[in-house]
Amino acid sequence: MKKDSRIYIAGHRGLVGSAIKRELEKQGYMNLVYKTSSDLDLRNPVAVNQFFKEETIEYVFLAAAKVGGIVANNDYPAEFIRDNLLIQTNVIDASHQNNITKLLFLGSTCIYPKFAPQPMKEEDLLTGVLEPTNEPYAIAKIAGIKMCESYNRQYGTKYISAMPTNLYGEYDNFDLEKSHVLPALIRKFHEAKENGSNEVEIWGTGTPKREFLYSGDLANACVYLMNNYEGNEFVNIGVGEDISIKDVALKIKDVVGFKGALTFNTEKPDGTPRKLVDVSRLSSLGWRAETTLDEGLKKAYEWYLENYITENVNG
């Protein structure tokens, strides 16, 4: 990409899209295009194609998606598969119809089988059954990968896919019913501290292990891949190491300054026992994550205090 290339960020207000926007601006890319969901409904194919025609876009970061944690995936399965299929189909096809130079599709490591070998390699895709709690979302993301591959094969496009591990950072979703585990824990510990509670309940046993990637590192990786990678194989993005839910909860407890105890509700689901990605392919391309979990948690909590708390108090 040239510094004046016309770059569209789909989903620029979310955790991933906002991080990509900040990273592009930091690197000097200023000809950026983005629309809010109220201005452009990506589920509407006519509106999406018209938008691409009018904006003469060259590069696309497809970060728009309907996302959520176990609760949201379990309660709204139809919306997760429908909305994600519509969004990615419309943006990918409009990119082809309007001859964009290159597209990066963002998926998720939930595409892998529930009991995939650890760490999970790109080759493990479609080798086993999915985790039932997020199967509709995972199937939509797998379809996006295959759509990019298929367009490349049939039309000679340059569409690449990246699968980030569990993310956190600025502009995360802290809604307890719809958020992922890390932002949910940040909010739980903060509210327990403010309310003078003696304990914080953690869903499940605390034993599942997860890998956590800071959103700023993901954004840097996405820009790096857009500039340095072409190929039909998708690429895992992660840090290459994981931590148990219990241990990450203890880290958040320290960052927030909560003095009470942790309790584990074993009647709630654990989800996949372990999710660690093999980052060999990405490492071979010359990229590695730089932000430690401790550093990233401090940044995420600072953003939560400065933005989420203020917004909800004033709102």
Cα–Cα distance, 80 to 141 (Å, whole number): 10
- Whether 76 is a known active-site residue: answer no
**Element (DSSP H or E) covering residue 223:** helix 215-228
Which helix (H) or strand (E) segment is 159 a member of?
A: strand 159-164
Catalytic residue among 29, 59, 137, 301: 137
Q: How close are the terminal C-alpha atoms of the chain, in Å?
A: 39
Annotated binding site for substrate: 188, 203, 210, 270
Name the residue among 131, 142, 40 with its Cα closest to residue 91.
40
Annotated binding site for NADP(+): 11-17, 106-109, 141, 164-167, 180
The span from the CA of 239 to the CA of 295, in Å, is: 14
Q: Cα(202)–Cα(266) distance, rounded to whole angstroms? A: 9
Strand pairing category for 7-10 and 32-33: parallel
Residues annotated in the binding site, as ranges? 11-17, 106-109, 141, 164-167, 180, 188, 203, 210, 270
Q: How many CB atoms lie within 10 A of CB 73?
A: 24
Distance CA(122)–CA(161), nearest Å, equals: 11
Q: Which active-site residues does the annotation give? A: 137
